[in-house]
Amino acid sequence: MASQRELQFMRRALELAANGPERGINPRVGCVIVSSDGTVLGEGWHRGAGTPHAEIAALTAAGADAARGATAIVTLEPCNHTGRTGPCVDALLDAGIARVVYASTDPGTVSSGGGDRLRASGVDVEAGVLAADVDAFLGDWMTTATLGRPLVTLKWASSLDGRAAASDGSSQWITGPESRDDAHLLRSQHDAIAVGSGTVLADDPSLTARDAHGELLSNQPVPIVFGGREISDGAKLRQHPLPHIQLDGRDLAADLHELRERGIRSLFIEGGPTLASAFVRAGLVDSYVAYLAPTLLGGDRVALTDLGVRSIDHALRLALSDVARVGDDVRLTLTPKGQ
């Protein structure tokens, strides 16, 4: 069981972790090396991909041989694999650490197992200390590490009868300016924004996040294009502040895995209906945001196409988590039932 002093040092490790970069593939981790008499020997945190992990930074700060017989208190289970850096487990063992106290268990299939290996090597290990606090701090990193992909939000704007465009294909603007501003704010809150290559050709979107005056917001999502159609040199998305990523879209699960490997933890899908429906059919949507305008269009330009639902018994049921009036429109936020 962790002592009161170790709980205090875990809180300090969590403070250190907050110094690391908030976004990207790597978690924010902090570590404190403490002697048997409670003296802090070294502190460290992970500064980003390719830099020493928190345990290595703390051991380096402690100095050679100073950590022998000491305790390492770290916010995340020490990693047990070689990536851009070596396994932290090896470094702790080589330094002669006698006890390791960590909060959250590493959910990665490759990087996990550090606690068990330390125990097998004779190190006293205490796991789960302030785990709830650290899990909350890690936020979507923990979820995406477990899923092995970014969290996916699907957004569309439609008329009250579910049409995303009029029969002639025109769609600007179904919803009002308040909804458009609200959607741009949501864009800025995601790491990336995605459309299909057909939408790029048809609508030439910029895929930026802008304020009501058309100025770029401080946080811009990485533009993602699914599909193999060639994007012209003059396409607006080529003027985006960030370079776009194009994926063929034939294996969406694999594409999402690749995006997470690139450090993308949240993806905002805006269209069109073909891409949106493909993500729904694949069961890869974690949250839905639908803006409904008090407008009737009729016709067959629906927001979603075939989802593979052949009877009402197989309908994809969603749980309503929020309803908000945005100007004259209504914004619905939903999640798949069971999530």
pLDDT given at position 84: 67
Percent of the chain with pLDDT over 90: 69
The residue-averaged pLDDT of 72-77 equals 96
Domains, in order of start, for the chain:
4-142 (3.40.140.10), 148-336 (3.40.430.10)
What number of other Cβ atoms are within 10 A of residue 228's Cβ?
11
The torsion of the CA quartet 267, 272, 273, 276, rounded to 10 degrees, works out to -10
For residue 323, how many other CB atoms are within 10 A of its CB?
10
pLDDT tens by residue, 95-122: 999 999 999 999 877 777 899 999 999 9
CA 148 to chain CA centroid, Å, is 10
Would the pLDDT of 86 be above 80?
no
Write phi, then psi, for 324 (nearest 5 degrees): -140, 140
Q: How far is CA 160 from CA 293, 302, 329, in A?
A: 6, 11, 9
pTM: 0.85
Q: How far, in whole angstroms, is CA 111 from its chain's centroid? A: 18
- The three-class DSSP label of residue 338 is coil
Q: What does the pLDDT look like over 18-34, one tens digit per residue? A: 999 988 888 999 999 99
- The confidence score (pLDDT) of residue 323 equals 96
Residues 6+ apart with CB under 8 A from 123: 92, 93, 97, 98, 99, 100
> CB 161: neighbour CB atoms within 10 A?
12
Please state the rounded mean pLDDT for residues 277-301.
Answer: 92
Distance CA 318, CA 170 (A): 29
pLDDT at position 83 over 70:
no
* φ and ψ of 299, to 5 deg: 85, -170
pLDDT confidence of residue 339: 58
Per-residue confidence (pLDDT) for residue 236, from 0 to 100: 93
- pLDDT at position 15 is 97
Task: Say if residues 225 and 199 touch (Cβ distance below 8 Å).
Answer: no
Query: pLDDT tens-digit profile of 196-230?
Result: 998 898 888 999 999 989 899 999 999 999 998 88
Q: Which two tokens stand for residue 68?
A: 């022998």
Told to judge if 178 belongs to the known catalytic residues of this protein, a careful annotator would answer no
Q: What is the pLDDT of residue 56?
A: 95
Q: What mean pLDDT value characterizes the chain?
A: 91
Q: Read off the pLDDT band of 156 (50, 70, 90).
A: very high
Q: What angle do CA 281, 284, 223 make, to 5 degrees?
A: 110
Dist CA 1 CA 128 (whole Å): 10
Stated as kind and residue range, the H or E segment containing 126 is strand 124-127
% of the chain residues with pLDDT over 70 = 98
At which residue do the structure tokens 């407008």 appear?
Answer: 295
Contact 271, 157 (CB under 8 A): no
Whether the per-residue pLDDT at 54 is higher than 90: the answer is: yes
Confidence of residue 294 (pLDDT cuts 50, 70, 90): very high
d(CA 315, CA 299): 22
The single residue of 43, 55, 126, 270 carrying the catalytic annotation is: 55
Q: Give residue 94's pLDDT.
A: 94
The answer to whether residue 85 scores a pLDDT higher than 80 is: no
> Got the DSSP string for 8-56?
HHHHHHHHHHTTS-SSSSSPP-EEEEE-TTS-EEEEEE--STTSPPHHH
Provide the pLDDT for residue 271: 76
pLDDT exceeds cutoff 90 at 7: yes
Are the C-beta atoms of residues 285 and 194 closer than 8 Å to each other?
no
Q: What torsion do the CA atoms of 9, 11, 15, 18 make, to the nearest 10 degrees?
A: 120
CB neighbourhood size of 338 (10 A): 6
**Quick one: pLDDT at residue 45?**
96
Q: Kindly indicate the confidence band of residue 183, based on its pLDDT and cuts at 50, 70 and 90.
A: very high
Report the pLDDT averaged over residues 26-45: 94
Task: Inform me whether the pLDDT recorded for 189 exceeds 80.
Answer: yes
Q: Where are the alpha helices (DSSP H) in the chain?
A: 4-17, 54-62, 88-95, 114-120, 131-138, 140-147, 177-188, 197-203, 252-261, 273-281
Provide the pairing of β-strand 99-104 with 71-76: parallel
